[in-house]
Chains A and B, each alone.
Chain A
């Protein structure tokens, strides 16, 4: 009898295991030898029957889990929406169906290369992504070796494109963003002492804090730097230090997962100083965390909702039309800047393919240098490193009562 019972329990466990693994897809823990994070064959490309059209594949290299899962999903939504608006592309008089190949790089630098390899073997003509600079840097060499061009959407660390001819990007860079934030804190907020928090070993927050500190100290301010390790969820001591040291601003451009905790604990500890962050915090995750709390959050970002009303209305309708989209966007229809950027990136890729007159990755890569596109987030053109030429950032602040972003100013650097 007892044997039967334990047998049944084992069976239940095995079944749960099977369900877990078949569902996880990209979530498996297999070594990077392959089999891991198989491309989720995203067949819902606009719903039109494939017909006799030729097919061109665009890879989407984004995190759907881990620290940056929420942001990665919103960026992917932008690409998917663009694909639903424009599911075909005409290249040299031939109409191609555009299909997206979406992989999950799990926000993890050591999973990035195998996720990138999946896109390479899927035969993508061009790849978009990723949210999070660390994974972009880690995945870059794989794409370079395979000769596939990548259009970075919101990876702002300079090292993403440096020394990698195949990596382009359509957003501004951290040296620019850090300087904008430092100028804003010093000149607009009138603060001369800042507390800077980054995650240990994270290219994005570490890089951005460095550029902020450089710019802030050049202006005559002082900074206290701190880092927290992976898996940390106790920020009370960091907040206490910032308060004890009499800092005027809490600069923490970290992932949205950590941000939720910081916002919550800042409120619980009655931290009155403004919290300043970069583009990652421009997310409804932050708005939901801040809603109804006594916190003051200001971010710099790529796009302000309302910048292109037609685009806004289209995205909102599309997000609300499908519960899966709605949950990927964090449960409401606030438009994240990364969604707008994902949308633009898709059209940049199409423009490059049309300019190249071919779907061959090498031709697309050659054409990308001179590709220009007028997107919802502004005009996009590339410089000699492959970076977008951009000189303004939008500053906005979280309204804790309405649960929306309030536009503050457009900030550049002198």
Chain B
């Protein structure tokens, strides 16, 4: 019991970060499942969602800003796909990957230009920024609701993929890109839907993440992006449950390592984990064997 009380803050922080990572990791894993593309710009879309929120709340009230952030982020994700990836659909895979890296730096540098390079303080969202005490640990409400929101959204997503027509199309496309095209699936619509879902979840993730760590800089998306990518690989890239479990494991381990006192190695751990997983189980926890790879 004593052990639990002492470590509760680390576990809480870990679960909450894990939930935020999960929402971003899904974006990586879905795009990879369908396009076999690692969308390096995804972490920066997450950062832009944070910045958009900062700027919108200076003009609009909070209840209006939140849906607007979701819409703008979705449009951004959609536009990136149409402008930077779609024209390269038949190009070698490497070209589209380089294009993704280009978009990532473009977003970072545009953000640098608009913010002047200074950190922007993220607005307080009422209620979820409230301070609560549980079991002797004081934390923000957002820490508690993040895993709940993450899991609800993920369940909805899984149902969406299993039960709806477009979800079925996604599963088909992820299995065989060319054949599904020949079978009359509108491939562009499916890919756009993937990017829209990924961006939407990234926007929700950014609200939760920045409510906890209330400062946005142009490079804010880089580290979470990289870690979520690791989470996606860890869980088996292409698999949604895998990405979620991977994200929670990384979030919790990272914070426990800080709790033990090895603060210097908390990031090194994440990437060491990546190497070990790739050596031992190259397809990740849930990779390859699972039939539906959306």
Contact = CB atoms under 8 A, between A and B. Distances in A.
A270 B133 contact: yes
Task: Point out which of A226, A239, A256, A269 has the most chain B C-beta atoms below 10 A from its C-beta.
Answer: A269
A6 B215 contact: no
B13 A240 contact: yes
Interface string B52-82: 0000000000000000000000000001001
A24 B113 contact: yes
Interface string A90-122: 000000000000001010000000000000000
A244 B82 CA distance: 51
B175 interface: no
A234 interface: yes
Interface string B106-141: 100110110011110100000000010100011110
B219 A20 contact: no
Size bracket, chain B contacts: 35 or more
A17 B113 CA distance: 11
Contacts of A237: 9-10, 13, 255, 258-259, 263
B139 A268 contact: yes
B105 A233 contact: no
A64 interface: yes
Contacts of A234: 13, 17, 212-213, 255
Interface residues of A, number: 56
A238 B258 contact: yes
Contact of B116 (A10, A64, A227, A244): A64
Question: DSSP class of A's interface residues: helix, strand, loop or mixed?
Answer: helix
Contacts of B133: 270
Question: DSSP class of B's interface residues: helix, strand, loop or mixed?
Answer: helix
Nearest to A10: B83
Interface string B219-231: 1101100000000
B82 A66 contact: no
B264 to A, nearest CB: 5
A9 B138 contact: no
Contacts of A70: 118-119
A369 to B, nearest CB: 36
Given A5-B82, A27-B113, A69-B117, A269 B139 contact: yes
A200 B264 contact: yes
B220 A229 contact: no
A241 interface: yes
Nearest to B110: A20
Given A27-B112, A227-B263, A261 B213 contact: yes
Given A228-B263, A240-B259, A241-B261, A24 B119 contact: no
B36 interface: no
Contacts of A24: 109, 112-113
Contact of B84 (A13, A226, A327): A13
A236 B223 contact: no
B85 to A, nearest CB: 10
A228 B263 CA distance: 6
B213 A270 contact: no
Contacts of A311: none
A13 B213 contact: no
B214 interface: yes
Task: Point out which of B106, B131, B212, B263 has the most chain A C-beta atoms below 10 A from its C-beta.
Answer: B263
Contacts of B83: 6, 9-10, 12-13
The 5 A-B pairs of least Cβ separation, nearest first, read A65-B117, A240-B9, A237-B258, A231-B223, A9-B83
Given A64-B117, A65-B117, 14 more contacts: A6-B83, A6-B87, A9-B82, A12-B79, A13-B106, A64-B116, A65-B116, A226-B263, A238-B258, A238-B263, A241-B261, A261-B215, A264-B213, A269-B138
Interface of B: 6, 9-10, 12-13, 17, 79, 82-84, 86-87, 105-106, 109-110, 112-113, 116-119, 121, 131, 133, 137-140, 212-215, 217, 219-220, 222-223, 255, 258-259, 261, 263-264, 266-267
